[in-house]
Structure 1
Amino acid sequence: MLASKHILLIIGGGIAAFKSLDLIRRLRERGASVTPVLTRAGAEFVTPLSVSALAGRKVFQELFDLTAEAEMGHIELSRSADLIVVAPATADLMAKMAQGHADDLASTLLLATDTPVLIAPAMNVRMWEHAATQRNFGVLQEDGIGFVGPNAGDMACGEHGPGRMAEPMEIVAAIEAALADGPLRGKRVLVTSGPTHEPIDPVRYIANRSSGAQGTALARALAALGAEVVFVTGPADVPPPGGVEVIAVQTAQEMLEAVEAALPVDAAVFAAAVADWRMASAAASKMKKTNGGLPVLEFAENPDILATVAQMEAGRPALVVGFAAETDDVVENATAKRARKGCDWIVANDVSAATGIMGGTENAVTVIDAEGAEAWPRMGKAQVAARLAERIAKALA
């Protein structure tokens, strides 16, 4: 997919800059050419010689470089690429991009271009969570800048949380998705996936057997067709796909809030197996077993995420797809669910224990829309995802 593609890679300052070296190698393995731009701060972490050796090209560093300006110029440099990638993208670089600053080569290139831009943020967790950075993040999203990461994990500074730069192969997948010349290019699609965990007390929760495999496969298939995918996932058994914006949640309420924050989108696919109920009031400390009898658990109904979006009066996605996991009367129950929720399609499947579908690698679905029900043969979940993604692309064409 990346053969003959030209990537302009801007390497910002941060310990994550060492990952950019592996990223260059991975891109060149796939046939892409890489023109590196190294910021002054980036050069404190990786050397121009190592970057140039891996890229097989000259490293650009200075805005006022007479030779570079005579040969190519920063304007041409910014527009000759198929994609501009910023990895790592520091808080400072994000702020410059959001505010339109152009006081060095990297920020000038980013301001002078009409080429698509993908950035991989990397910074301390407090910097990422700071209100200023989150404002800049919102501005850049509205400006059409693509994001991959940041991931949560241990920091070089010893802290833990979101702010780690995405791994090189995640960035490669995001680059492939950004350059995919598929039927969903320019479309933004929301996918929910996995189960939700509703706490009973600090150590127990209500959940279901969903692995998140089908939703993950669907997000990957949509990205492969060129879609910008927002992937809202509960605590799934499978890792999230690369090349998509991942939002991790635990509860149904958190999933609803993440979904609403991701709007507007062209299509929304609700593959998550959201718990129908939660505790009316989760215990603040572990509930103890006593000789006095069983505890009484009082339940409350969780928000209906599918119905909330499908029945929106303003800003409703052009296509809303729900999933129905049933154990009996599959088509009848799913058809009734479609009418009740107000969605366009329902993807129904039989998840009774004998099928092995929930938590398994295969699926057998029936797609129900206004025209009726279309049963698909049993196949791998990746195949189901690819076929459903093609159907979504045709619907949005």
Structure 2
Amino acid sequence: MRRKEIGNKVLLAVTGGVAAYKSLEILRLLVKKGINVKVVITRGGERFVTPFSFLSLGAEEVYTDNDQFSIINGSSIHLALSRWSDLIAVVPATADFIAKVASGISDSLLLTTLLASKKPVIVAPSMNENMLLHPATQRNIEILKGFGYKIIEPDEGFLADLAKGKGRLKDPEDIFEEILVELTPKKLKGLKVLVTCGATREYIDPVRFITNGSSGKMGIAFAKVARRFGADVTLIAAHTTEKLPMGMKILRVDKTEELFEVVTDEVKKCDLLIMAAAPSDYRPEEMLHNKLPKLPELTIKLVSTVDVLKEASKYKDNKIFVGFALQTNNIIENAKKKLEEKNLDYVLGNSIENIGSDLGKVILMDRFGNISEFEGDKESIAEFVLSKIFKF
């Protein structure tokens, strides 16, 4: 079940760039999250995408410049839309649009709506590199920043003319994430959160290693959700199957020993540690420096790796520590044992069915033995756990 505590009304604005079709994916993600979306398409935007495309994907209403002088419930449409929305996201934003906003021009429904709005505005530019880097465009972007608009810098990559350069629209999932950051109340503002994620590797030789099936999804979900709630997040990432989030400090590690070194350094600076990484429990006693040839059989002596969470507890003081107990049976008993042995405040118990899945069923146990159960997607699990810890 999703916690319904975020702003839930987004006005998605689409201007006339080749990347306009990517706004359809952003709409899909917003609707899937339970957010109400209305769409404004400029005259240029209609050359690339149609109102029907947005309606078919769940938009409540779609407006064009033909509606500029319409009345909604007794108000001019641009005033009604500016009051209705919790946030306006312009995806993609062309050089022409950016120039007009910077100059205060209001010759379209979108531009008049922006002038009338006091709500947060996200602008995601997309254009040819020469246009983006032109001094006029750079000046105009700075003016928009001065208005308080959040600018999502475009990526480098192949552009519309197949030339490679800066100007490619940011990935829709990244833009979606920035929308959620803007909409979510900052209940963890000022909190420093350290999250670990992914599986470490212990090498037999330069190409073979021991690892586990952790995807890193749970830790990434915690990092995203904590950032949405306003926390200052550091993510220590071992090997993951998921793209790492933007907007936070990312530290990459490979082996368990590296994870230990980085965690024991960073934990001194945090208020909350969420140890979602899955360190390998064993490593070869010796790593071979050359690739081992295929043999009829092979015996490898394994030794224990460092217990990262137990060692980190030496720096606990008044910090809050959250650990994970992945078990094949006796989840509650094993979670309680880990809670006591690792000096944790909370432990999240789950089963192997959760590995790599977008969904999960977990139990949360605190140091007093109180147990709560929750089932949902991993971001919802993260919201549930953080709300339990900080009582919101």
- Could you tell me the TM-score, scaled by structure 2's length? 0.54
Counterpart residue number, 2:23 = 20
Q: 2:158 aligns with which of 154, 157, 163?
A: 154
Report the CA distance shift for 1:5/1:334 in structure 2 as closer, same or farther (over 3 A).
closer
Q: 1:364 aligns with which of 298, 302, 309?
A: 309
Q: Tell me, yes or no, if the aligned pair for 1:5 and 1:32 is still in contact at 8 Å.
A: yes
The CA deviation string for residues 70-113 of structure 1, in whole angstroms up to 9 with x for no partner, is 65431121121122111111223233334443332212211210
CA distance in 1, matches of 2:191, 2:113: 26
Deviation at 1:220, TM superposition (A): 1.6
Report the CA distance shift for 1:181/1:48 in structure 2 as closer, same or farther (over 3 A).
same
Correspondence 1:93-112 to 2 at 5 A: 93-112=97-116
Deviation at 1:176, TM superposition (A): 2.8
CA distance in 2, matches of 1:231, 1:373: 15
Correspondence 1:142-221 to 2 at 5 A: 142-148=146-152, 150-184=154-188, 219-221=223-225
- Could you tell me the TM-score, scaled by structure 1's length? 0.54
1:17 maps to a residue whose letter is A
Correspondence 1:221-300 to 2 at 5 A: 221-223=225-227, 225-227=228-230, 240-241=243-244, 244-245=246-247, 271-272=250-251
Q: 1:45 aligns with which of 45, 48, 51?
A: 48
| In the alignment, structure 1 residue 120 sits paired with structure 2 residue 124 | yes
Deviation at 1:373, TM superposition (A): 10
CA distance in 1, matches of 2:52, 2:266: 60
Q: Which runs of 5+ in 2 are unaligned?
A: 198-213, 285-306, 327-349, 356-377
Report the CA distance shift for 1:40/1:229 in structure 2 as closer, same or farther (over 3 A).
farther
Report the CA distance shift for 1:11/1:378 in structure 2 as closer, same or farther (over 3 A).
same
| In the alignment, structure 1 residue 33 sits paired with structure 2 residue 12 | no
Q: 2:90 aligns with which of 72, 86, 89?
A: 86
Q: Tell me, yes or no, if the aligned pair for 1:193 and 1:272 is still in contact at 8 Å.
A: no
Q: Tell me, yes or no, if the aligned pair for 2:11 and 2:87 is still in contact at 8 Å.
A: yes
CA distance in 2, matches of 1:77, 1:221: 28
Q: Which runs of 5+ in 1 are unaligned?
A: 195-210, 246-268, 275-324, 357-361
Q: Tell me, yes or no, if the aligned pair for 1:125 and 1:159 is still in contact at 8 Å.
A: no
Report the CA distance shift for 1:79/1:18 in structure 2 as closer, same or farther (over 3 A).
same
1:80 maps to a residue whose letter is W
Report the CA distance shift for 1:157/1:334 in structure 2 as closer, same or farther (over 3 A).
closer
Report the CA distance shift for 1:80/1:141 in structure 2 as closer, same or farther (over 3 A).
same
Report the CA distance shift for 1:354/1:192 in structure 2 as closer, same or farther (over 3 A).
closer
Counterpart residue number, 1:6 = 9
1:164 maps to a residue whose letter is R
Counterpart residue number, 1:294 = none
C-alpha root-mean-square deviation of aligned residues, in Å? 5.4
Q: Tell me, yes or no, if the aligned pair for 1:62 and 1:104 is still in contact at 8 Å.
A: no
The worse-fitting range, judged by mean Cα deviation, of 16-25 and 129-138 is: 129-138
CA distance in 2, matches of 1:191, 1:70: 50
Q: Tell me, yes or no, if the aligned pair for 2:238 and 2:252 is still in contact at 8 Å.
A: no
Report the CA distance shift for 1:151/1:363 in structure 2 as closer, same or farther (over 3 A).
farther
1:364 maps to a residue whose letter is L
Q: Tell me, yes or no, if the aligned pair for 2:192 and 2:271 is still in contact at 8 Å.
A: no
The worse-fitting range, judged by mean Cα deviation, of 373-382 and 37-46 is: 373-382
The CA deviation string for residues 138-183 of structure 1, in whole angstroms up to 9 with x for no partner, is 4444543234452332112111233222344443333333222351
Counterpart residue number, 2:289 = none
Report the CA distance shift for 1:353/1:111 in structure 2 as closer, same or farther (over 3 A).
same
CA distance in 2, matches of 1:189, 1:95: 38
Counterpart residue number, 1:289 = none
Report the CA distance shift for 1:176/1:273 in structure 2 as closer, same or farther (over 3 A).
closer
Report the CA distance shift for 1:239/1:95 in structure 2 as closer, same or farther (over 3 A).
farther
CA distance in 2, matches of 1:228, 1:156: 37
* Other structure's SS at 1:166 match: coil
* Other structure's SS at 1:183 match: coil
Counterpart residue number, 1:292 = none
